[in-house]
Amino acid sequence: MRSQNEFSYGGDASVKRPELNQEVSDKEWDNFVYNRKSLRGKHLELWHHVSGCRQWFKVQRDTTTHEIFKTAKMNEEI
């Protein structure tokens, strides 16, 4: 178990960046850059082991209880 302060939060992991060199509508772009659901309950998040191995990874966490259900590498599905 590692201390929480080694990690930093990196936002919603379910957001997909639009492909490069593609036409992207204002709405699609806004959804990618700004619009986030502030979920109560299970949330798929990105975390960065910033004071450690420097890996970004996925965490499934409950936003009300902070319970962590699963973690996964970036190339794995949760």
Residues that bind other proteins (CB under 8 A): 1, 8, 10, 17-18, 20-21, 24, 26, 29, 32-34, 46, 48, 50, 54-56, 65-66, 74-75
Nearer to other proteins (CB atom), residue 12 or residue 39: 12
Least separation in angstroms between residue 27's CB and other proteins is 12
Least separation in angstroms between residue 38's CB and other proteins is 18
**Non-local CB neighbours of 13 within 8 Å, separated by 6+ positions:** 44, 45, 46, 58, 59
Least separation in angstroms between residue 17's CB and other proteins is 5
Question: What does each C-alpha distance from 49 to 39, 57, 73 come to in angstroms?
Answer: 23, 8, 12
> What does the radius of gyration of the chain's CA atoms come to, in whole angstroms?
14
